[in-house]
Structure 1
Amino acid sequence: MSSAENVIGLYERHAGAWDRKRNHGGKLMERGWLDRFCGLVPPGGAVLDLGCGSGRPLASEMIARGFGVTGVDSSAAMIALCEARHPAHEWHVADMRGLDLGRRFDGILAWDSFFHLRREDQRAMFPVFARHAAAGSALMFTSGPSDGEALGSFEGEELYHSSLAPDEYRALLAAQGYEVEAHLAEDPDCGGHTVWLARQS
C-alpha cells in the first residue's frame, strides 16, 4: 500500500495519539485564521468541517462560538471522539472525495486534511466544495506552498501530503465561483501553514 493510500488507516490506528498531540497544550495557533473564517459566516451559521479529526481544537472552538458543526472524517475512531465530546452536533464517517450530504453550508473548512489527498483528488474536490456551499459561503483550507508531494511521519509511519501550484488553486476556486479573500504561504504565526480563505461570489 502506498503512503497516500495509507493515510486513512494511519489516522484510524493512531486516533488517540493524534488527539493528545493535536490540542497543542491548549494553545490555538490557528486563532487568527479561524477568526477571519468565522467573520465570513453568519452568526449561528452551519459549518462543514471536512477531515474534522477528533473535533478539537477547531470544531470545538466553532461550537463554542455558536456555530452548528457537521463534521466528516474517514476515521471511525476520530468520529467516535467527536460524538463523545459534542453529541448535539452531526458527525459522519465518510471519505470527503465522494461526499454528497444533500445540504449547503455557510462555511466549509478543510484544515490539515485536504492536503493528504493526491493532486488529482484535490482537483476533484472543488466541485464537492461548491456542491455543499450556500450563497456567499466561506471556504478555508490548507495546502503546501508549491506543486509537489512530501512525506512526513506520525507515530513512526509515513504520512503523505501533496499540493498543487498556487495559480492552479486560484483557477480551480474561480471555476467554482470562489473569490480568494486571503492567502499566505508558510505563515510563521500559524506553525508554517499555507492557508487559503475564499468566498463564494
Structure 2
Amino acid sequence: MSGAGEGLDYDSLKLDRTGQAEAFDSIGDRYDEAFPHKEGQVGSADWLLERLSPGARVLDLGCGTGLPTARQLADGGCAVVGVDLSAAMVALARHNVPEGEFHRADIADLRPGGPLDLGGFDAVAAFFSLLMLPRAEIPLALTMIHGLLRPGGVLALSMVEADVDDFAIPFLGSTIRVTGYLRDGLREVVEAAGFTIEGESSYTYAPESSDVPPEEQIFLRCTRLD
C-alpha cells in the first residue's frame, strides 16, 4: 500500500506538544460543558456501530472525557480502548466509562515499533484528535491508523475545515495549536493513506464558550482499503 506518509517517518519529525496536554488538563470537565451539542460525533459513532459485531475492538483516538463516544461505543457492546495526551481527560474517561481501557499517551506512541502496542482494531474513532497535530504529521498518523485496523476495518474521522497549520488559538482560557484542511484537501490526504470515503457530513458549530469562534466541522466515514 502506497500511503500518504510514504518517504516520511516519525524519526524525521521533531514533535512539539508544548502546552497541548496542559491546556486540556486545565480545562477538565469544562470541555463537555462548552461543547454540549455533538450530533455529528454521535451520528458517526452510530455508523461505526452499524458495521460492528458485539465485542468488536474500537480505538477512541483522542478520547477526551469519554463522552459521548467511548460511552456510546461501550453501550453498543464494543470493547473500547481510549488514548489521550491529557492525564485529566484520561482520568475523566476512566470514571465515565469504567469498563473501557484508557491510556495516557501520544498518538505517535502507537506507531509501529513505538512504546504502546495495543494490537489490532475493528474500528477507529478519531474525532478532532488529528486537529492537534502539525500538518506534516497527519499523513503519518493516518497511515498508522490504517495499520492498526484489521482488513475491512472502519474509521470515523472529524476535522474542522480551515486552511491552517499548527496555528495558535484561544481555547477555554488556554491556548492550543490546531491544524485544518479545506474539504478537498482533507479527502485527498485520507484517501492517500489507504481509505475509501463511504460518506461525509458537515455541521456549522458554535460552542457555548465565547472565546471559541464558530467552526465548520467535517465528518468522514471511511473503510480501510486492503
Give TM class, smaller chain. 0.7 to 0.9
| 1:146 CA displacement | 4.4
> Residue deviations 1:35-94, cap 9 Å, x none?
223223233311100100111111111111111100000011111122223333211100
CA separation of 1:98 and 1:164: change in aligned 2, threshold 3 A:
farther
Asked if the contact 1:42/1:106 (under 8 Å) is kept, the reply is no
Q: Which residue of 2 aligns with 1:66?
A: 77
> Residue deviations 1:123-161, cap 9 Å, x none?
221121012101111111112324324554323222322
Q: Which runs of 5+ in 2 are unaligned?
A: 1-15, 112-116, 207-214
- Distance (Å, rounded) in 1 between the aligned partners of 2:191 and 2:38: 30
Identity of counterpart residues, as a percentage? 25
Q: Which residue of 2 aligns with 1:108?
A: 124
SS of the counterpart of 2:128? coil
Segment drifting more, 162-171 vs 104-113: 162-171
Letter in 2 for 1:200: R
Q: Which runs of 5+ in 1 are unaligned?
A: none
Q: Which residue of 2 aligns with 1:45?
A: 56
Asked if the contact 2:124/2:156 (under 8 Å) is kept, the reply is yes
Match of 1:178 among 186, 195, 200: 195
TM-score of the two chains, using structure 1 as the length reference: 0.84
Segment drifting more, 67-76 vs 124-133: 124-133
Q: Which residue of 2 aligns with 1:35?
A: 46
Segment drifting more, 77-86 vs 12-21: 12-21
Segment drifting more, 131-140 vs 187-196: 187-196
| 1:165 CA displacement | 4.1
| 1:114 CA displacement | 1.4
Asked if the contact 2:161/2:216 (under 8 Å) is kept, the reply is no
Q: Which residue of 2 aligns with 1:11?
A: 24
Asked if the contact 2:162/2:179 (under 8 Å) is kept, the reply is no
| 1:166 CA displacement | 3.7
Map 1:1-201; keep pairs closer than 5 Å.
5-22=18-35, 24=36, 28-30=38-40, 31-100=42-111, 101-149=117-165, 151-184=168-201, 186-188=202-204, 192-201=216-225
TM-score of the two chains, using structure 2 as the length reference: 0.75
| 1:170 CA displacement | 3.2
Q: Superposition RMSD on alpha carbons, in Å?
A: 2.5
SS of the counterpart of 1:174? helix
| 1:183 CA displacement | 2.0
SS of the counterpart of 2:51? coil
- Distance (Å, rounded) in 1 between the aligned partners of 2:161 and 2:75: 31
- Distance (Å, rounded) in 1 between the aligned partners of 2:99 and 2:66: 13
How many residues end up aligned between the 2 structures?
A: 195
- Distance (Å, rounded) in 1 between the aligned partners of 2:162 and 2:38: 25
SS of the counterpart of 1:163? coil
